[in-house]
Amino acid sequence: MVMAGGRVGKDGIHGATFSSAELDKGSPVQAVQIGDSIGQRVLTDFELKARDRGLYVAETDNGAGGLSSSGGEMAKESNGCVIDLKKVPLKYPGLADWEVLVSESQERMTFAVRPDKIVEFLALATQMGVEATVIGTFTSTGKFDIRHGDRAVAFLDMKFLHEGFPRLNLIAKWENRINPEPNFGHPENLSNTLKEMLARPNIASKEKNLRRYDQGVKGLSIVKPLVGKGHDVPSDATISLLEYGSKEGLIMSQAVNPHYSDIDTYHMTASVIDEAIRRIIAVGGKLPSKDRPFYALDNFCWNLSDLESGEAQYRLAQLVRANKALAEYCTAFGVPCISGKDSMKNVWKVKSTADGKTTEHTIPIAPTLLFSTRAKMEDVSKP
């Protein structure tokens, strides 16, 4: 077992629970990892070269749960592992063993490397400026064995690690809700109404936000996020050259439509999958096929904070229907979801004061699925 990439620090501890928890003044400041985009790029280049040379047989990232997750997941294949936390490179001294084990990072990977490939693997890492360290071995003992030198830290059955947590038995109750048609009345000044609508953040131009980011890093972008005569209109999708001297490109698109959720989350999900794929086509991509695969990411933002309420049963049913559409439409289009994220306790708390009394209201966010797609383009001269 080899860990490669960034060193372990306190940043990233409880990142997974932090992303779904209610934020307040007491929220842990170290939960959000300190990013290192340059380190991530170097690690990615190393991964690809080591892969092409056949220097490792499996890998996974040190995201949610850090080494406990990556090591524990990969050890399921061999039915056991031994990790020595003393060997894990740290950003600074003073970390407790459990902190070393669970701190997460997107710039850190765990690899399974065969003993006869380890010398070449580590030599390539040194050559490319990537810190790689042997931190343990995969075993068949059926144990998740964590040590700090000679001292035992954890010793769990692999079966307990993966199956010991009891599953929640939740009730999902679906109902067709008919939303009443809105009564807009007859506003006297439609010009002011239009201006007020256009000023809403969900409708207003996103150009100001997009301009904050460098869209031309390394000069590889072909179709940028902003297009048109004045370069101020959001593009349907973006296209980037894969590498200098090549004609191959990567098309990236995404779609989101939380307003549709009030009608039916099944059709909301179907619509964003369809739209993200149509955006790929709109810039010159082709429909997915065996030779031209698409890849997708599904990012859920839901509110399941009060599981005992009847409304929570309905929101859970909305989640079930969204996943049903995700499975059916991705299968129909031939688009696999290779990654994603879920945040399930999204509420907004506001305070209002009337008659001298302050009342706190909890507003659940609309069930939201952001669907992102990636597709290959053979010739970027024809977008």
Residue written as tokens 């592992």? 81
Contacts of residue 268, Cβ cutoff 8 Å, sequence gap at least 6: 257, 258, 260, 261, 322, 325, 367, 369
Are the beta carbons of 340 and 298 closer than 8 angstroms?
Answer: yes
pLDDT at 27: 62
DSSP 303: B
pLDDT at 364: 82
CB atoms within 10 A of CB 44: 14
pLDDT at 29: 57
pLDDT at 72: 93
Q: How many whole angstroms separate alpha carbon 240 and alpha carbon 219?
A: 9
Burial of 343: CB neighbours in 10 Å, binned 0-12, 13-18, 19+: middle
pLDDT at 78: 95
pLDDT at 15: 64
| pLDDT tens by residue, 122-176 | 999 999 999 999 999 999 999 999 999 999 999 999 999 999 988 888 889 999 8
Give pLDDT < 50 ranges for the chain. none
Q: How many whole angstroms separate alpha carbon 284 and alpha carbon 282?
A: 6
**DSSP code string of 248-266:** -EEEEEEE--GGGGGT-HH
pLDDT at 21: 58
CA separation (Å) from 87 to 3, 133, 141, 197? 10, 7, 21, 58
Domains of the chain, residue spans: 2-163, 206-377
Q: Quick check: helix, strand or coil at residue 223?
A: strand
> What pTM, to 2 d.p., does this model score?
0.76
CB atoms within 10 A of CB 242: 13
pLDDT at 65: 87
Q: What is the chain's length?
A: 383
| pLDDT tens by residue, 40-77 | 889 999 999 999 999 999 999 988 889 999 999 999 99
pLDDT at 231: 86
Backbone angles phi, psi at 71, to 5 degrees: -65, -45
Are the beta carbons of 238 and 225 closer than 8 angstroms?
Answer: yes
Q: Quick check: helix, strand or coil at residue 149?
A: coil
What residues form DSSP beta bridges with 274?
none
CA angle 83–88–89, rounded 5-degree value: 170
Residue ranges with strand state E in 123-217 = 132-134, 136-138, 143-148, 151-157
What residues form DSSP beta bridges with 155?
145
CA separation (Å) from 206 to 37, 203, 259, 279? 24, 9, 18, 18
pLDDT at 374: 95
Sign of CA dihedral 335, 338, 341, 342: positive
Domain topology for 2-163 = Phosphoribosyl-aminoimidazole Synthetase; Chain A, domain 2 (3.90.650)
**What kind of architecture, by CATH, is found in domain 206-377?**
2-Layer Sandwich (3.30)
